Amino acid sequence: LSFSVEPGEIFGLLGPNGAGKTTTIRMALDLFKPDAGRILVFGGPLDEAKKDRIGYMPEERGLYEDMRLADCLHYLGQLKGLSRTEAHVRAEAALKRLELWDHRQKKIEKLSRGMTQKAQVIAATLHEPDLLIVDEPFANLDPVNIELVKGILQDLKARGKAIIMSSHQLALVEAMCDRIV
């Protein structure tokens, strides 16, 4: 497998369950080691500084279930290098944009699957990463919320961010991606 992703592009990984989309993502993030070959991120091997330039939204839930939504987002934003104030300001704007503001004090375990999916989008994008990797970003979302998330991805693309989107939903991938593998 060989591909590159350019700034300002949404690049699609398309295939059925079990095709290796998530495994490819996990290798790019250095969570799994490849058996052979090499993976270059931002022109070289992945290191800790480069990890802060990446946002990742896994297919499975990746948030702290026992935390309140706003607290979790503030914490995750600070882990990615945002000041406390900046994490709060960005989280507030994102929670309002994705219609989660009224749920900010709920524990994540109490959110619906769709709300949790939108919260994961916020967590992955809060620090405005140069590379965003989203694995099945539209899972559990109704048509209205799919449009909200599509808007966020399109905004990031317009600001020159590179996006890798993994999905088995052909219509969404075809509609959004500049190139597909």
Q: Measured between alpha carbons, how far is 136 from 124 in angstroms, rounded to an integer?
A: 13
31-72 pLDDT tens trace: 999 999 999 999 999 999 999 999 999 988 789 999 999 999
- pLDDT score at 16: 85
Please choose, from the candidates 16, 28, 23, 1, the residue with its C-alpha nearest in 3D space to the C-alpha of residue 131.
28
- According to DSSP, the β-strands at 54-57 and 162-167 are unpaired
- pLDDT score at 42: 94
- pLDDT score at 65: 94
Q: Measured between alpha carbons, how far is 138 from 147 in angstroms, rounded to an integer?
A: 9
Q: Which residues of the chain are under the pLDDT cut of 50?
A: none
How many CA atoms within 13 Å lie on the side-chain side of 8? 3
Place of tokens 């969404």: 172
Q: Measured between alpha carbons, how far is 84 from 75 in angstroms, rounded to an integer?
A: 8
- pLDDT score at 1: 85
- pLDDT score at 170: 85
